[in-house]
Structure 1
Amino acid sequence: MSKVQFIRKEEKKYHDFCYEKYKLFEEGSWLYKPVKTVIDLLLMFEGKTNLKVLDLGSGVGRNSIPIAQEIKNKNGKVVCVDLLDSALDKLKLYSEEYEVEEVIFTIKADIGHYEITKNEYDLIVAVSTLEHVESEDILEKVIQKMASGTKNEGINCIIVNSEVEEIDIETGENLDAMMEVNIKTEDMLNKLRAIYDGWEIVNQLVKPLEYKIVRDERDVILKTNAITFTVRKK
């Protein structure tokens, strides 16, 4: 088993566990609420109709369901791409529960190889997903496809982890971080700035974070520099 295959196996195990144990928008996990940065972006589309949104690595709809609720009465559409059946099955159930099933369109695919139609979307969101493509080269290609797939005046919102560490709480041992792409913060920022050269930077932020997760029934502290990078196509 390759390193990427092993990481994906462990990540699938972790996400399947979370999606089964924790309910969307209930306290107790990162599924509790959407990312404020993402939801606040909808204000920039005030008064617009027929918005088309792409959520890459949508999971169970933490961000896509609130987006769908906002654009439901404006003839909007949210395309949700994820590789995990557990995520897409829950997303379909939650979209019915929150009465946005006619707005949400699910696609099972690896975002690293998902084709994005040129000039198709008003908003493309990738939250904590780009670090899970197979390599740095594929990461760059995905971001380039995001840029190409965005309409004029459209927005890309990327939240991506960098310099990730995982530490066993009980032993203090440094573990292999379960991230396919784990590079220096400045290197990631340089990639983003280069690809989006000429775009308007709406928001650029690096925030050190740490939180507790479970790996193979062990409590682990995950440390990361979380990069928020939001840009508008001129």
Structure 2
Amino acid sequence: MNRVEYIRREEKKYHDSCYENYTLFEKGSWLYKPVRTVMEQLSLLKGKQDIRVLDLGSGVGRNSIPIANEIKSSNGKVVCVDLLPSAIKKLSQYCKEYGVEQVIELVQTDIAEYQIKQKAYDYIVAVSSLEHVSSESVFDSVLEKMAAGTKEGGLNCIIVNSEVEEVDIETNEQLDALMEVNLKTEDMIHKIRGIYNGWEVVKQVVKPLEYKIVRGEKDVNLRTNAITYVVRKGKDPFSTYANSI
């Protein structure tokens, strides 16, 4: 088993356990609320019909179900892509529970393998998923496909971890961080800026975070610089916000 296979096995264990033990939007877990930045960008598409959204690494619908609720009245659609069968299974259940099964399309595959149609989407979201592709070159490739798959005036919202560290809480031992792509913050930002050269930067924030996770039987502190990067492809004259960002 190579390193990427090992990381994905451990990540599968962690996420399968979360999805089994915590209900979507249940208080006390990271599934409690959608990401505020993800939801805020929908205002920039206000008034549009037939909005098309792509959620890469959707999980069980933390962001995609609230998005679907927002855009269903305007004939919107959300494509949700996730590698884990457990995520897609739970998401299918939640789609029915929250009445958005007609709005959401489910795709179980590696986000690196998903073929993004050119200029197909108004909004592409990737939250804590790009760092889990198999290599830096694949990371670059997925970003390029996201950029090419965005309509003029469309948005990409990226939240990605950098400089990740994992520390055993009991022993304070530094562990191997189980992240496929783990770059220095400045290098990660440089990559993203290069791909989106010429796009309008709506938001760029780096926030140090620390939280407890479980690796096997160990309680572990995970530390990261979380990068939030929201960009817009050109100016969209349809939107009343086009000249105010």
User: Given the two structures, how large is their TM-score scaled by the length of structure 1?
Assistant: 0.99
Identity %: 66
- Letter paired with 2:103: V
- Letter paired with 1:217: E
Runs of 4+ aligned residues of structure 1 deviating over 4 Å after TM superposition are: none
**Correspondences of 1:1-234 after superposition (within 5 Å):** 1-234=1-234
User: 1:158: how far off?
Assistant: 0.3
User: 1:33: how far off?
Assistant: 0.4
* C-alpha distance after superposition, 1:193-227 (max 9, x if no partner): 10000000000000000001111021110000000
User: 1:42: how far off?
Assistant: 0.6
* C-alpha distance after superposition, 1:143-172 (max 9, x if no partner): 000000000000000000000000110110
Taking the aligned partners of 2:10 and 2:225, their CA distance within structure 1 comes to 21
How many aligned positions are there?
234
Taking the aligned partners of 1:61 and 1:46, their CA distance within structure 2 comes to 21
Q: Secondary structure at the match of 1:112?
A: coil
User: 1:114: how far off?
Assistant: 1.3
Taking the aligned partners of 2:33 and 2:217, their CA distance within structure 1 comes to 25
Q: Secondary structure at the match of 2:112?
A: helix
Taking the aligned partners of 1:221 and 1:102, their CA distance within structure 2 comes to 39
Taking the aligned partners of 1:113 and 1:142, their CA distance within structure 2 comes to 9
- Letter paired with 1:202: V
Taking the aligned partners of 2:33 and 2:209, their CA distance within structure 1 comes to 17
Q: Secondary structure at the match of 2:41?
A: helix
Taking the aligned partners of 1:114 and 1:9, their CA distance within structure 2 comes to 20
User: 1:49: how far off?
Assistant: 1.0
- Letter paired with 1:111: I
Taking the aligned partners of 1:217 and 1:91, their CA distance within structure 2 comes to 27
**Which moved further from structure 2: 210-219 or 129-138?**
210-219
User: 1:112: how far off?
Assistant: 1.3
Partner in structure 1 of residue 237 of structure 2: none
Q: What is the RMSD of the two structures over their aligned residues, measured on CA atoms? A: 0.5
Unaligned runs of 5+ in 2: 235-245
Taking the aligned partners of 2:28 and 2:3, their CA distance within structure 1 comes to 30
Taking the aligned partners of 2:175 and 2:38, their CA distance within structure 1 comes to 31
Taking the aligned partners of 1:4 and 1:112, their CA distance within structure 2 comes to 14
- Letter paired with 1:104: I
Taking the aligned partners of 2:29 and 2:216, their CA distance within structure 1 comes to 18
Q: Secondary structure at the match of 1:223?
A: strand
Q: Secondary structure at the match of 1:16?
A: helix
Taking the aligned partners of 1:98 and 1:113, their CA distance within structure 2 comes to 29
Taking the aligned partners of 1:89 and 1:55, their CA distance within structure 2 comes to 16
* C-alpha distance after superposition, 1:116-167 (max 9, x if no partner): 0000000000000000000000000000000000000000000000000001
User: Given the two structures, how large is their TM-score scaled by the length of structure 2?
Assistant: 0.95
